[in-house]
């Protein structure tokens, strides 16, 4: 009789734990999605400006911190090294929150399905997202 009681309590505790975990995961996912609003338009604007030759406009979408560490010439050299003109599409990954920063891996794709993964780090300044870091992932 005691075994059935313990088994019933254990099952209920396991279900309650799974429910709490599911609730936590749902709240975290919703919080991440809500906090990431505005990232996709920023990325679109960034790549649209690069595609139209407006490098200065794309450079100004970065934070002052980024521009302090990476001057305009270094930014242009970095972009030239990426050979962006051969990529036709992009696929963004799942955003990750880390100490108030949002990190997003973006994969640029060629028609031959070659990929160039870039990690973008975003910070929110005055309710607007800005690019704080762009890093090419190691192959």
CATH number at residue 87: 3.10.450.100
- Full domain range(s) for residue 10: 1-35
52-61, 70-79, 94-103: segment of lowest average pLDDT: 94-103
Contacts of 49 (CB under 8 A, 6+ apart): 55, 57, 58, 61
Model pTM score: 0.72
pLDDT band at 46 (very low <50, low <70, confident <90, very high): very high
Do 1 and 63 share a structural domain? no
Phi-psi region of 59 (alpha: psi -120 to 50; beta: other; left: phi over 0): alpha
Residues 22-41 have pLDDT tens digits of 777 776 666 655 555 678 88
* Alpha-helical segments (H) within the chain: 2-35, 39-51, 55-59, 64-69, 72-82
Do 50 and 23 share a structural domain? no
Q: Cα 63 from chain centroid?
A: 16
**% helix, strand, coil for the chain, step of 5:** 50, 25, 20
What is the total count of domains within the chain?
Answer: 2
Residues 4-20 have pLDDT tens digits of 766 767 777 777 887 78
Instruction: Please compute the mean of the pLDDT values over residues 57-85 and round it to a whole number.
Output: 94
Mean pLDDT of the chain: 85
Do 114 and 87 share a structural domain? yes
Do 50 and 101 share a structural domain? yes
Report the share of the chain in percent with pLDDT over 90. Answer: 45
Sort 128 into a burial class: Cβ within 10 Å, 0-12 / 13-18 / 19+: exposed
């Amino acid at each position: 009789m005691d075994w059935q009681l313990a088994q019933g309590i254990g099952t209920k505790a396991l279900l309650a734990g799974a429910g709490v975990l599911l609730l936590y995961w749902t709240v975290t996912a919703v919080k991440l999605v809500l906090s990431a609003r505005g990232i996709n338009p920023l990325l679109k604007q960034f790549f649209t400006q690069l595609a139209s030759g407006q490098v200065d406009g794309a450079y100004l979408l970065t934070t002052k911190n980024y521009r302090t560490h990476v001057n305009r010439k270094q930014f242009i050299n970095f972009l030239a090294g990426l050979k962006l003109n051969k990529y036709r599409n992009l696929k963004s990954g799942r955003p990750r929150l880390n100490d108030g920063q949002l990190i997003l891996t973006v994969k640029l794709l060629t028609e031959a399905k070659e990929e160039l993964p870039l990690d973008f780090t975003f910070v929110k300044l005055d309710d607007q997202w800005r690019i704080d870091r762009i890093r090419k992932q190691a192959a």
